[in-house]
């Protein structure tokens, strides 16, 4: 029996071709969806800022993704900060929820979760359908700039609203 030194194109070549096609076709689709998601989020926040006569502190924005409504699709939670309401030196932090419907983010609800002299939200994450916030709470001796007591808050999406868990 003679063994050929040359391999016949087989499963390895086919897999390589499939990976190449995925890169060629899926990457632009993911970028387009990402741009669309960003437009939806930017539009919502701009509308909220206009209503409050405020501006967004965009560098503080956090977007996390996870499944909030147990449908297997990645939804988005956005932590954003609006400041200078009506010319003040106030700032408020909000959570906004966007559900994935047929590959596009759709705004569902938002809620104020922090702000000057209330609490500061350090980070947001999603685990097991729950939104987890790491916070800094104000102690009676803390200055307005600087809450110091570590804390946490949890929310679930229920009936189209955010509820403390």
The pLDDT of residue 152: 97
- Taking the CA atoms of residue 15, residue 17, residue 21 and residue 23 in that order, the dihedral angle to the nearest 10 degrees is 70
Only one residue has tokens 């609800």, namely 109
Which residue in 128, 140, 139, 136 sits closest to 153, CA to CA?
A: 136
Tens digits of per-residue pLDDT, 1-40? 444 454 545 554 544 544 444 555 444 444 445 678 999 9
Asked if residues 98 and 76 have their Cβ atoms less than 8 Å apart, the reply is yes
Q: Which DSSP category does 145 fall into?
A: T
- Side-chain-side CA neighbours of 10 within 13 Å: the count stands at 3
CB neighbours (10 Å) of residue 80?
Answer: 22
Does residue 43 have a pLDDT over 80? yes
- pTM of the model as a whole: 0.78
Tens digits of per-residue pLDDT, 100-114? 999 999 999 999 999
């Amino acid at each position: 029996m003679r063994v050929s030194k040359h391999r016949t194109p087989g499963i390895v070549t086919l897999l390589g071709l499939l990976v190449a096609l995925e890169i060629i076709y899926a990457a632009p689709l993911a970028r387009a969806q990402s741009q669309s998601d960003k437009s939806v989020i930017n539009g919502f926040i701009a509308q909220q800022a206009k209503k409050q006569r405020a501006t967004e502190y965009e560098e503080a924005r956090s977007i996390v993704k996870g499944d909030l409504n147990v449908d297997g699709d990645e939804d988005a939670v956005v932590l954003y900060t609006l400041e200078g309401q009506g010319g003040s030196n106030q700032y408020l932090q909000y959570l906004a929820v966007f559900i994935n419907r047929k590959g596009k983010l759709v705004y569902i609800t938002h809620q104020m979760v922090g702000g000057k002299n209330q609490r500061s939200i350090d980070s947001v994450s999603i685990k097991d359908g729950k939104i987890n916030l790491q916070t800094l709470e104000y102690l009676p001796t803390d200055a307005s700039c600087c809450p110091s007591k570590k804390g946490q808050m949890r929310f679930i999406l229920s009936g189209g609203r955010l509820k403390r868990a």
